[in-house]
Amino acid sequence: MRIFFSKATPVQLQFLVWGFVFLLNLLTYLPEDPFFQALSSSGINCFFYALIIYGNISLLFPRLYEKGQFVWYVLASLALLTAAGIAHTLIAVSVYNHFFAKTPEPLNQATFLYVSFAGIVSFMLSFVFRIALAYFRVKRQAEQMLEQKSQAELNLLKSQVQPHFLFNTLNNIYYEAYREAPRTALLIGRLSDIMRYFVDESPKEKVSLATEVKFLENYIALEEIRIRHGVNTTFHKSYEEELFLPPMLLMTFVENLFKHGIDRGAEGNHIHLSLVREGDSLLFSTENVLPLDPPPATKPGFGLHNLEKRLNLLYGPRFVLTTTRTATHFQAYLKIPLV
């Protein structure tokens, strides 16, 4: 039973409560009335009990009382109790006279008073019913949140175990490769650093500028090995290493350098990067020489468009993002505030 209650939804619990109320009514009538008469009386009683309780907690209380309309709430509650009492009395007497009475019994004041008293009790119990429902809903939500938290922690553990296994494997490969091919080992180490950045640093709100620059340098080194004739890369840096900025903010420019600014089959590729602090701003720019026969100018790609949207969310109007294309060069410029 305890397992059932811990797993049951508020709706299931309500069905259980009303089943218990119906059974209690039935057992009350059975000693004096035939079974079917007791059955019909219990059903009618439960229907009107539910009408009063749900009419109050689902309609009157939230729409009137909780909105501060106390006078209207009192008047509406009296109207509900009066209407339910009259209807309850009429239906109960009619069913009894039609199906079970040997001689019809007239309506009397005692019957109405009894039904009305039961309605008032039901109305008072509706507040207890409402509190109980709220408690079980909150309890259920808390259990679901706990389950989700546990699942999230499990997924996080899995996501951490798998990359760390890969990192450890890459480190082992690095030491094996270092004996025979130190340059290959260095590239494996850079790849490991990039992957570790994605796992450990990119989820953070801010990372150190030194960490971000190391990530860019590792990316550039791995891209350079894909260029047949090599790339002449210069990276000018002038800043303090204790600066912080959102992760992956500068990556779009560097990625575009190798995606659109490199002729992989030609010699003489040259790219220049500059990262400088000026006052309370950080300036980042890239420049690359266009191929001798460059493609026609096109609109900025999705990468720069998404970067601009992200910058708007981070800095509002306090940033500058420009791109310039000449006959021989393509330049990108970004200025962001540090405070």
Per-residue confidence (pLDDT) for residue 116, from 0 to 100: 84
DSSP-derived letter for residue 299 is -
Contact 153, 23 (CB under 8 A): no
Return the bridge partners of 270, or none: 232
The predicted structure's pLDDT at residue 334: 95
What is the separation of C-alpha 34 from the centre of its chain, rounded to a whole number of angstroms? 57
Tokens of 229: 């004739």
* CA distances from residue 181 to 174, 185, 229, 300 in whole angstroms, order as listed: 10, 6, 21, 40
The pLDDT score that the predictor gives to residue 3 is: 42
| Fold assignment, 228-337 | Heat Shock Protein 90 (3.30.565)
- Domain positions in the chain are 2-150, 228-337
For the chain, residues with pLDDT lower than 50 are 1-4, 161, 295, 297-300
d(CA 255, CA 268): 19
DSSP letter (8 states) at residue 264: T
Position 242 scores a pLDDT of 82
Pairing of strands 281-289, 270-278: antiparallel
Q: Are 286 and 271 in contact (CB under 8 A)?
A: yes
| Res 260: pLDDT | 76
Half-sphere exposure of 153 (CA within 13 A, CB side): 6
Rounded CA-CA distance 114/94 in Å is 16
Backbone angles phi, psi at 80, to 5 degrees: -60, -45
- Residue 225 CA to residue 220 CA, distance in Å, equals 9
Q: Which residues contact 15 (CB under 8 A, 6 or more apart)?
A: none
Contact 37, 93 (CB under 8 A): no
Give residue 32's pLDDT: 86
State the pLDDT at residue 129: 85
Separation of alpha carbons 13 and 16, rounded Å: 5
Q: Identify any residues that bridge with 245 across adjacent strands, giving them in sequence order.
A: 207
Asked whether the beta carbons of 323 and 308 are under 8 A apart, the reply is: no
The string over 198-220, giving b where at least 16 C-beta atoms fall within 10 Å of a residue's C-beta and e elsewhere, is ebebeeeeebbbebbbbbbbbbb
Please answer whether residues 245 and 204 qualify as being in contact, where contact means their C-beta atoms are separated by less than 8 angstroms. Answer: no
pLDDT of 298? 47
